[in-house]
Each structure stands twice: as C-alpha cells, then as structure tokens.
C-alpha cells in the first residue's frame, strides 16, 4: 500500500500464535524494515529529539500530539466489549501519564479513529500524521493490552525489541526473519525494558517474536508480563511529552548526567556520614529493578542483590526538574504507615514476580553512634499500602526494616486553595 504501510507498525498475532507453530505469524518485512521511531526523549524540553530513517524535518508526519491531547473517534466496528477494553486502555494512560484521550469534537482536524479489523491483531499509525489516522485491534487481540500497545504507536513509541542496542538483551539466533533494528542512535536510551508494552512476547519457544532474553531471570516480555504500561513506559511517555505535576520526575542515565540534571537532584535533606548529599538511583540487575544510593564518584548505584552490590551498568538517577514543590504538586518522603502506592513514585518492576519497586528511605544508628542514611527498595503488589519491610543496602551491609519513608508525590490541597 505504498506510503501508508511505511508509517504503520504491526503488532504480531500474538494471542493466536504464542506457542503455536501452525500459524504463520510473520509480518511482511517491508513493514518492519526502516520504520523510524522514537524510543525515549531525554530532552527536558520534551521536544522529539531525533528521528532517523526518513526526513527528520518532516514534522508534519512525525509530530507529537500538542499538550499530549489526543482526539479520538470510536468507530462503528467496535462492539460494546471492545469499547470497554478501549476505555480501560485510555484509563491506563490517564492514571499514569499526562496524556489525555478526548472525544472528537466538531472542528477537530487531527484525530485517531479507534477501529476493529479482524485481519490484524493490531495496527496503528505512528505519531500524529495529520487528519484521520487509526489505531486498530482485531480477532483474539481485542484487549486493553493490545490497545495500550497501539496507542503507544499513536503517541510516537516504537518497539522496544527493535532498539538499536537490543542485541545486548535479546537474541534472534536461528530465526529466519529478524525484526529490523531502529538506528536512531542519536537518542540516548533508557534501561532496556523487557516489560515494556511495546516489547513483543519473548521466551524460549516464542523466540522469533520478541527474541530470547539474554538476562538471567527474564522469562518473558511485553504483553505476556504487563497488561498495561510498564513503569519505564510511563517514565518514557512522561518525558517525551514533558509531563508536569506529579509526573515531572525524570530518571537520567548515571553515566551521562548533564549539568542541568545535577541541578535537579534532590537529597531530601539527607547526607552521608561524610557530609555528601545522598541521591536515589535505580538499576536493572539480574532481571529486577532495585533502588539504592547513588555514588557520583564511581557513577554506581549501591543496591541489594544477594548482598550489597555497586552496579555501574543500567543505572539511572532520579531528578525532579522544577523543584520538590511546583504548582502545588509536592514530592516528599512519607512515613510507610501512611504512604500509599497510589502516590508513591515507582522505580520499576521485577521480571520474576512482577511486583512494583518503590523508593524507600531509612536511617540506622551504627554501633559507633553515627547515623547511616540509605535509599533502598520496597516492593508491593497491592495498590493500598506498604506492608513489607524495605531492603536497605547500607554502607555497613544490608538490613531490613519496617521503619522507612517512601518517596511520594501529591497534590497539596492547602496550596491549591491559596493559589487557585
């Protein structure tokens, strides 16, 4: 279909095909080759930083949705249950990002038509192309999960398993058709995200879809382990669209912190025994995201994994541009007993249990009377409370405690009353 298909990225018929060898699920190579994409924006301005493959300057074809507002129409092909799934997908974006899907109104030129097409699992135009465009799901793929994936394309996201550096994380060894790698090597990548909803399923039997994971403890990927957006997906979208409020925190690669990033680090009033400010970091290590304390001198993150380890690869540091309190959206440490996962800042998830990891802060008085302060990890799978002890990888070894604070962000009602 010429130019149209060039700008579409298909989702494989995963629901039909996972584990099956009877159905040919291969996507036409022309659809996968040379498809440009945007993986992650690391620009604090929220501008689309670089798009490779085709004309970078063609902002008409490759524009984001202004203010993250996407107008939509529900096509008549959708059943009532399809619409329920679509609304769940919208809700996933509305509760975790600043993206808004809003009903088309008279006079709106650019909009996405949400459609059912049983000839596809899922198919969507990439970015805002101008005028009519669609996000489709069909057949056995008419789920929230598929629609979250397709709407990710609508918002300019590409496939995680087609990142330029994916060969470090998955192998397509022995596959007769291998998804193309995007070569947008000007965009610094975040931590490789096996859990991204933009990653195809992957396991030993399904290796030619999303590849076989090369990281220990990672047994499957994408929609097989995440029904909605992963924590990294959320972080990436909020960065790409320069989301503010309680979605303005940004995790930055430890190896390439800029001056601006450094100005956005926050120690929450806490210092090491040597008097240096302490900053939280996260690392993907052996298939799980852990939170720890950043060491600027070595660019390492001190985490716990069967012992205290200083990790130097796949490390990101938390920055909060705009300060801890901005427009009444306040980042603060909240005592475990009153903290809620709904307002806590997630750091990532484990690839083996799927539990979400959050940022815990605790201090401990050492034998010599000195107070040792540390960032660590607390996990939960509920949305109601923090009931488990935190892993605290301190300078004097690991300890576990129920006496910790959780980094959270909330809308300050008092502030809103004064400032309207």
Length of the chain: 420
Give the residue closest to Zn ion by C-beta: 11
CB nearer Zn ion, residue 86 or residue 281: 86
Instruction: List the one residue out of 50, 32, 30 whose CA is nearest residue 41.
Output: 50
Minimum gap (Å) between residue 193 Cβ and Zn ion: 14
Least separation in angstroms between residue 8's CB and Zn ion is 9
159 known ligand binder: yes
User: Angle at CA 263, nearest 5°, toward 262 and 268?
Assistant: 95
Q: What span, in angstroms and rounded, lies between the C-alpha atoms of 54 and 115?
A: 27
**Chain center to CA of 309:** 24
Q: How far is the CB of 69 from Zn ion (least distance, A)?
A: 22
C-beta closer to Zn ion: residue 12 or 339: 12
Q: What is d(CA 38, CA 122) in angstroms, rounded to the nearest whole number? A: 19
- Interface with Zn ion (CB under 5 A): 9, 11
Nearer to Zn ion, 114 or 344 (CB): 114
- Cα–Cα distances (Å) from 193 to 188, 213, 214, 235, 314, in that order, read 14, 11, 12, 11, 11
Ligand-binding site membership of 149 (annotated): yes
Q: At its nearest, how many Å lie between Zn ion and the CB of residue 11? A: 4
Q: How many CA atoms lie within 13 A of 151 on its CB side?
A: 34
CB of 121 to Zn ion, least distance (A): 9
Q: Is 150 a catalytic residue?
A: yes
CB nearer Zn ion, residue 9 or residue 359: 9
> Are 280 and 302 spatial neighbours (Cβ–Cβ below 8 Å)?
no
- Which run of H or of E encompasses 87? helix 80-96
Among 85, 92, 115, 150, the active-site one is: 150
Give the nearer residue to Zn ion in terms of CB position, either 148 or 320.
148
Q: Is 186 annotated as a binding residue?
A: no
Compute the radius of gyration of the chain from its Cα atoms: 22
**Catalytic positions, please?**
150
Binding site for Zn(2+): what residues are annotated?
149, 153, 159
């Amino acid at each position: 279909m010429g130019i149209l298909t060039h700008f579409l990225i298909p989702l494989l018929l995963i629901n039909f095909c996972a584990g099956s060898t009877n159905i040919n699920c291969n996507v036409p190579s022309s659809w996968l080759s040379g498809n440009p994409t945007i993986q992650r924006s690391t620009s604090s301005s929220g501008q689309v930083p670089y798009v490779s493959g085709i004309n970078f300057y063609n902002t008409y074809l490759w524009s984001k949705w202004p203010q993250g507002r996407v107008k939509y129409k529900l096509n008549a092909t959708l059943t009532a249950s399809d619409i329920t799934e679509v609304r769940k997908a919208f809700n996933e974006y509305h509760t975790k990002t600043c993206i808004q899907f809003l009903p088309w109104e008279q006079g709106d030129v650019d909009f996405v038509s949400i459609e059912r097409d049983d000839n596809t699992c899922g198919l969507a135009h990439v970015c805002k192309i101008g005028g009519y465009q669609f996000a489709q799901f069909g057949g056995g793929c008419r789920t929230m999960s598929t629609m979250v994936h397709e709407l990710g394309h609508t918002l300019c996201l590409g496939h995680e398993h087609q990142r330029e550096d994916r060969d470090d994380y998955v192998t397509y060894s022995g596959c007769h058709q291998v998804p193309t790698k995007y070569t947008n090597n000007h965009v610094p990548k975040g931590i490789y995200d096996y859990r991204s909803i933009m990653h195809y399923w992957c396991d030993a039997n399904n290796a030619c879809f999303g590849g076989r994971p090369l990281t220990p403890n990672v047994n499957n990927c994408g929609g097989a382990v995440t029904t909605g957006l992963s924590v990294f997906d959320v972080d990436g979208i909020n960065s790409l669209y320069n989301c503010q409020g309680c979605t303005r925190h940004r995790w930055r690669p430890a190896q390439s912190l800029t001056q601006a990033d450094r100005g956005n680090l926050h120690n929450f009033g806490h210092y090491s025994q040597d008097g240096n400010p302490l900053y939280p970091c996260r690392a993907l290590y052996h298939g799980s995201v852990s939170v720890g304390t950043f060491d600027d001198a070595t660019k390492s993150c001190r985490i716990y994994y069967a012992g205290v380890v200083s990790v130097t690869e796949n490390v990101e540091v938390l920055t909060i541009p705009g300060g801890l309190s901005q427009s009444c959206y306040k980042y603060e440490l909240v005592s475990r007993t009153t903290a809620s996962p709904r307002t806590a800042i997630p750091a990532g998830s484990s690839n083996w249990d799927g539990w979400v990891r959050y940022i815990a802060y605790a201090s401990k008085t050492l034998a010599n009377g000195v107070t040792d302060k540390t960032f660590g990890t607390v996990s939960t799978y509920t949305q109601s409370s923090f009931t488990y002890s935190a892993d605290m990888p301190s300078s004097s070894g690991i300890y576990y405690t129920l006496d910790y604070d959780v980094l959270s962000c909330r809308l300050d009602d008092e502030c809103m009353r004064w400032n309207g």
